[in-house]
């Protein structure tokens, strides 16, 4: 037994000394153009993947469908990332081929949102990928993650268009002026919008629901009042006619109480958010759809605006309408905002997410 321990210790010492001599001798080629052997590369790849998976697994992902977040991310990406990761329509440059490991072309796949967030925030050791978390807050990093989900499938023209419409870096802070927002409700300062949203939440609680008229007493009646106001920034009428037609068909189906048509337009994986509460398609079919139809039947609806924005093989459609409705027996004028995220499915468009917000109509 004692002999065995001495022998093992001896071998360990030899190995350590061997590593020391190897390092000290300088024969290892550290050049980036001298690539790792296959087993070393496989080991490092496994280390990298397992480490990122583990560190990213509990990160909570915010709503990545918000067009304003995506627009902001487009601007950030164009400013900081294309030198290493390219973009649609961008040719190979002189730096990338010399980098080892090679930065992946991020227009060619959609990285997992949690892992992308972690890598952008913390960077990757012994690679060119910088940690951006020191200079950028989490919200800004999420904007890049949101944009990365949209970039694959974008044509060069769509990419240029979205970058051109992205907010400039200097007005990217939260309270930054909405220089080109459309619709009266989106104008004015962030405080005004927040106050309006507060009122809307109060009304929603009054009504028990942001859309349904009579008091349903679900737990979400007290939905968090912190939900950010929906922004329709970047939406252009006629930008994606097919998606806009699907959005109009969806609104018409709801107004006519045509349950089958409503459900046919919703993709199987669709999520429906009303007043800060989110349901799956099946939950919605069993629960709020009936209340929404009943409520809309009693309302007079005037469309205010509708526009869309292409996002690779998906599109966003944002719209506003005024609703003259009865809430708890009292007549009320509400402005409803709707944001749909649609995916092209063969020749037709399917809705993958719906966001609704309702607020009292702003003073004109
Ligand atoms: C100086 C070059 C460089 C810059 C600039 C750079 N990256 Fe990277 N990035 C890399 C490299 C290299 C890797 C691959 C690291 C590895 O494989 O170990 C990488 C990996 C990534 C990954 C992981 C992709 C995967 O395989 O899942 C993401 C996401 C990413 N970068 C996003 C960004 C974003 C967003 C920016 C801009 C804010 C950016 N990078 C800027 C070099 C760069």
Tell whether the torsion through CA atoms of 91, 72, 234 and 317 is positive or negative: positive
Q: Is the CB of 190 under 6 A from ligand 1?
A: no
Using most ligand atoms within 8 A of CB, pick from 72, 97, 122, 129 the residue to mutate for ligand 1: 129
Q: Per-residue pLDDT tens for 295-317?
A: 888 889 999 999 999 887 789 99
| pLDDT one-digit tens code per residue, 199-215 | 444 444 334 344 443 33
Residues 173, 167: Cα–Cα separation, whole Å: 10
Q: Which of 15-29, 145-159, 219-233 has the lowest mean pLDDT?
A: 219-233
Domain 51-170 sits in CATH 1.10.760.10? yes
- pLDDT for 157: 87
Model pLDDT for residues 61-120, shown as the tens digit of each residue: 998 988 889 999 999 999 999 999 999 999 999 999 999 999 999 999 999 999 999 999
Question: Cα of 101 to ligand 1 centre, how many Å?
Answer: 10
Query: What pLDDT does residue 358 have?
Result: 86
Q: Is the minimum distance from the CB of 107 to ligand 1 under 6 angstroms?
A: no
Q: What is the pLDDT of residue 185?
A: 36
Q: Is the peptide bond preceding residue 230 cis, with omega within 30 degrees of 0?
A: no
**Is 48's C-beta closer than 6 angstroms to any atom of ligand 1?**
yes
What span, in angstroms and rounded, lies between the C-alpha atoms of 137 and 154? 27
Distance (angstroms) between ligand 1 centre and the Cα of 197 equals: 38
Tell me the domain boundaries of the chain.
51-170, 186-360
String of b and e for 50-61 (b: at least 16 CB within 10 Å)? eebeeebeeeee
**Which CATH number is 186-360 given?**
3.10.450.50
DSSP string, 225-276: TTPPPP--TT-BTTSSHHHHHHHHHHHHHHHTT-HHHHHHHEEEEEEEEETT
| Number of Cβ atoms within 10 Å of the Cβ of 321 | 19
Looking at residue 362, what is its pLDDT? Answer: 61
- What band does 228 get if pLDDT is binned at 50, 70 and 90? low
- Which of 296, 294, 286, 343 lies closest to 324, judged by CA? 296
User: What is the distance between the alpha carbons of residues 70 and 263, in angstroms, rounded to a whole number?
Assistant: 27
Pocket of ligand 1 contains residue 132 by CB under 6 Å = yes
Taking only the tens place, the pLDDT of each residue in 339-364 is 999 998 888 999 999 999 888 876 55
Amino acid 125: pLDDT: 94
Tell me the best of 74, 76, 90, 104 to mutate to test the pocket of ligand 1, counting ligand atoms within 8 Å of each CB and taking the most: 104
Rounded-to-integer distance, Cα 122 and Cα 141, Å: 11
Confidence band of 193 (pLDDT split at 50, 70, 90): very low
Q: Which ligand 1 atom is at minimum distance from the Cα of 48?
A: 18
């Amino acid at each position: 037994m004692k002999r065995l321990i001495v022998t093992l210790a001896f071998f360990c010492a030899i190995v350590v000394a061997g590593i020391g001599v190897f390092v000290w001798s300088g024969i290892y080629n550290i050049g980036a153009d001298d690539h790792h052997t296959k087993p070393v590369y496989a080991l490092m790849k496994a280390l990298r993947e397992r480490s990122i998976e583990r560190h990213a697994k509990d990160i909570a992902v915010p709503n990545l469908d918000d067009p304003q977040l995506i627009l902001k991310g487009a601007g950030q990406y164009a400013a900081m990332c294309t030198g290493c990761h390219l973009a649609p329509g961008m040719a190979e440059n002189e730096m990338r081929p010399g980098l080892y490991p090679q930065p992946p072309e991020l227009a060619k796949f959609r990285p997992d949102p949690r892992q992308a967030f972690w890598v952008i925030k913390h960077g990757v050791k012994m690679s060119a990928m910088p940690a951006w978390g020191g200079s950028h807050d989490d919200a800004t990093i999420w904007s890049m993650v949101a944009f990365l989900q949209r970039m694959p499938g974008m044509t060069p023209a769509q990419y240029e268009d979205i970058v051109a419409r992205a907010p400039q870096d200097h007005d990217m802070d939260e309270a930054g002026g909405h220089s080109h927002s459309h619709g009266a409700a989106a104008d004015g300062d962030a405080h005004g919008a927040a106050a309006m949203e507060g009122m809307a939440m109060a009304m929603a609680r009054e009504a028990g629901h942001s859309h349904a008229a009579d008091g349903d007493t679900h737990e979400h009646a007290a939905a968090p009042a912190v939900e950010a106001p929906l922004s329709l920034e970047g939406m252009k009428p006629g930008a994606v006619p097919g998606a806009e037609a699907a959005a109009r068909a969806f609104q018409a189906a709801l107004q006519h109480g045509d349950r089958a048509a409503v459900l046919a337009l919703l993709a199987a994986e669709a999520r429906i958010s009303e007043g800060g509460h989110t349901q799956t398609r099946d939950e919605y079919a069993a629960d709020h759809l009936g209340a929404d139809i009943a409520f809309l039947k009693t309302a007079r609806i005037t469309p205010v605006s509708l526009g869309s924005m292409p996002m690779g093989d998906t599109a966003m459609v944002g719209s506003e309408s005024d609703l003259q409705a009865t809430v708890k027996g009292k007549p009320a004028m509400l402005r409803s905002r709707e944001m749909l995220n649609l995916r092209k499915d063969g020749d037709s468009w399917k809705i993958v997410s719906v966001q609704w917000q309702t607020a009292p109509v702003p003073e004109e």
